[in-house]
Structures are given as structure tokens and as C-alpha cells.
Structure 1
Amino acid sequence: MFLNLGLLVSVGLVLFAFEYKSYGDGFLKDLGSINDEFEELLDIPITEQPPPPPPPIEQPEIKEIPDEVEIEEKIEVNFDVDVKEETVIKEVVIVDAPVVEKADEIFDVVENMPTPPGGMEGWNKYLQKNLKYPTQARRMGIEGTVYVVFVVNTDGSIQDVDILRGIGGGCDEEAMRVVREAPAWEPGKQRGRPVRVKMRLPIRFKLS
């Protein structure tokens, strides 16, 4: 019991010590009133300074230079040409230079292309009569189209026969033979003159 009473008293003293407040009796110091003349400082007049004058422009001095040589001779122009109003000036006609065609030049396309005797119908009849199916191609079952390229000369004769695309089996050689042995064609013409033309024709081989 005494221990509990002692604890209670000590706790009460501690709380009292924390809760106790004391105020001093000191006097506030009178700082007085401050008279700052801010308005007078703000009313300072602004002084304007004039800009400096521009620098003077120096005018170049013009000196008169005497002529060293005086031209005494006068040039007289005498227009002693009689121009008649009735004079008619002929109109200048510009003629195109003639087109020079080389004799050895080979054309791919001309105004009038070469044609075989009897036209294409006659050409097909010639192939059916003279074209022979090669034995090797027949045995191997080769068929297709051989493209032959050749040149038709100005007299209609055929030369420079070659294969553009072949199928083999002896068909290429047979197509070239038939074209070489063909009768003369009607030559191609450019500007009314016969010229050499390169032709490309297909020859079809088909097993019946």
C-alpha cells in the first residue's frame, strides 16, 4: 500500500511539473515610428538625354580631268541607197535535206514490209509442200514452233538465215533449209525505195 501511494504521489508531481507555466514581467521596448519618405523617393524626375548627332558625311571631291586628245574628225554617214517601195522580197523556203539511206543498212520496220509470193497464204502452202518432219523429232515426239530470222535483200533474195528460238531434234535445221530454198520475196520499201529488211517468222512442227 505504501509503495502504491508513493508511486501515485511521484506521478502527480511529475504531471504538475510539466503542466506548470510561468510568465515573466518584462516590458516591451518601444521602437517608435519610422518616417520613411518613400513617396518622395519615387517621384524622381526622369532626365532625357538627346541622342548624339550623326557623324558628318564626307562628300567626295570631284576633280575635272582635261581631255588628253581631242577628236577633231567627224564621222559622216552617207546613206546613198535607193530603196524602192515596189521592191518585193522573195520568201525564203527551207527545204529539208534529202535523206541519204545506206545501201547496207538493214531495217527492222519499214513502210512496206516484204511479202512472200502469194502473200501469207502462199507462204503456208509452200511450207506444207516442202517442209519435212525430221525422223529424229518424230521418234522422240518433239513438236513445237521454231522461230527463224533472215534478211530480205532489195532484190527479194533471202540471206543470213538463223534460228531465233529452236526446239531441237533436227527441226531447227529443217526450218532453215526451207527458208533458204524459198522463192524470192517482194522486197520491203522505205520512202518508195527498196531496202533490206530483217524478218522473223514462226514455223510450226506438229505431229498428226
Structure 2
Amino acid sequence: MELKKNPRLDLRRWSSTLTNLGLVVSIALVLVAFEWKAYEDFKIKDFSGNSEIWDIPDVPITIQTPPPPPIIPIELIIKPDNEEIDKKTELIIDIDFEEEKPVIDVTLEGPPTVEVPDEINDFVEVQASFKGGMDAWYAYLKKNLIYPSQARRMGIEGSVIVRFVVNTDGTIQDVEVLRSIGGGCDEIAMKVIANSPAWNPGIIKDRPVRSRMTIPIRFRLD
């Protein structure tokens, strides 16, 4: 025998409707909770009319004076009356006021001469040069110029521009580097110039003068 069920008693027919209704109610409750505003019943205090609270008393500026130094009592040494006191020795000053020495009048002939130190000339008629010429200079560099190990490891090469002053006697002074390449090459170049033998000084009007020289010292890896 076939079983038949009354459609009115089927509970599943309202399941989708009840589900949607529950969702709508839940969303409505969430929206109401977010939009709900609560106001506390209190009164904001107003301090505008009470000026006594904001009055700041004037504090006088006090200057503290340092305490006076302590008074050290003077110690009095009382000696007996029978003790002899050393008499003061008289100073004998021997000054001869009788002899009158004549005052020598000094006369200046012309204006006084002002000694001017030797001027360093950047341009001269005959340029200062290494004794023996360029061949001797290259031989001196080949013998005394040492390639720094740091620059060799780093692969540094190039020319160091060195400026120095040649005095009238051919000596070297005021050695400085104008262009550096680093790696210890600058110090080696300055040392080679400073320790070089005497040069031939620069000439102006057939007279040796102090002159300034600028030369490159080249470092090149083999």
C-alpha cells in the first residue's frame, strides 16, 4: 500500500522562507546596533567665569650670593723682650752722577730700507731643472721610486701632480700634491721629490731666484 502525506504537514516547505527571514532580522539587528547612540547625562563644567583658578602668582627672582670666605685667624708670635733683633743692612748704591756723557745725534740718510724676503716666482726666464738633465731625472726616479704594495694590489695607476719650490741654492721645500690617486702613491711621490738632490735654480735677469715647479710622477703597472 502506498503511503501518502498531507502537503500541509510538510515542514520543509517553510525552510527557505524562515532562513531568509532569519537572515533579514539578523542584518537588521546588526545595523541597529551599529547606529545606536547612547548619551550620558552629565554637565560640562565651565571655568570661564572663575578667574582665580588661572591666576599664577608672581615668583620673585632670587639671586643667591656666595658665602663669604672663611676668616683665617692671624697667628701672633710673641717673642721675649731680651731677644736681639737683626739690624737691617744698608744698601750701598754706587751711581756716578758727575760724569756727563755727550748725546750722539743720529741722522738718517734717506728712507729706511725694508728687507723683503725672497719672493717665490711662478714664471721665470730660465726654468729650474734637475742637474744632469731629464736623463738623470729619469734615472733618479727609476732608482728611488717604489711602487706601493697597496696600490699594486688594488690595481691603481696614474700620475700624481706634485708642486714644490726650488730655492736659490737648489734645495727643495714646500712639497705638496695637486692631484692625488691614492693607494700610497701620493706619499711616495712627495718623498721622492723632497729627497732629490739639489736642482739648478730658476733665473731672472741673470740672477738665481726662488721658483715654483709642478711636475707629474707617473705610476704604471707592468
SS of residue paired to 2:210: strand
Match of 1:130 among 137, 144, 164: 144
The residue number in structure 1 matching 2:119 is 105
2:188 counterpart residue number: 174
Q: Which TM-score applies when normalising by structure 2?
A: 0.48
Give the Cα separation in 1 of the matches to 2:139 and 2:148: 19
Partner of 1:6: none
Residue 158, structure 1, aligned to residue 172, structure 2: yes
Q: How large is the Cα RMSD of the aligned pairs?
A: 1.6
Match of 1:117 in 2: 131
2:216 maps to 1:202: yes
Cα deviation, residue 150, structure 1: 0.1
CA offsets per residue over residues 37-88 of structure 1, 9 Å max, x none?
Answer: xxxxxxxxxxxxxxxxxxxxxxxxxxxxxxxxxxxxxxxxxxxxxxxxxxxx
1:110 partner amino acid: V
- 1:156 maps to a residue whose letter is G
Question: Using a 3 Å threshold, how does the CA distance of structure 1 residues 123 and 102 change in structure 2: closer, same or farther?
Answer: farther
Please state how far the C-alpha of 1:106 moved relative to its aligned partner: 0.6
C-alpha deviations, 1:121-176, integer Å up to 9, x for none? 21111001100000100000000000000000000000000001010000000000
Residue 146, structure 1, aligned to residue 153, structure 2: no
1:40 maps to none
Contact 1:133 1:205 in 2 (8 A): yes
**Uncovered stretches (5+) of structure 1, i.e. residues with no partner:** 1-100
Distance in 2, Cα, partners of 1:186 & 1:124? 16
CA-CA distance at 1:102 after TM superposition: 4.8
Identify if the C-alpha distance between structure 1 residues 206 and 196 changes in structure 2 by more than 3 Å, giving closer, same or farther.
same
The counterpart of 2:197, out of the listed 179, 183, 194, is 183
Question: 1-side partners of 2:178 and 2:186: how far apart?
Answer: 10
Q: Distance in 2 between matches of 1:107 and 1:176?
A: 21
Letter in 1 for 2:174: D
Whole-Å separation in 2 of the counterparts to 1:119 and 1:109:
20
CA drift of 1:103 comes to: 3.9
Q: Structure 1 vs Structure 2: percent identity of aligned residues?
A: 62
- Please give the per-residue CA displacement for 1:104-123, whole angstroms capped at 9, x wherever unaligned: 21111111111101111211
> Which ranges in structure 2 are unaligned for 5 or more consecutive residues?
1-114
Distance in structure 1 (CA, Å) of the matches to 2:145 and 2:135: 15
Equivalent residue of 2:215, what SS?
A: strand
Corresponding residue pairs, total: 109
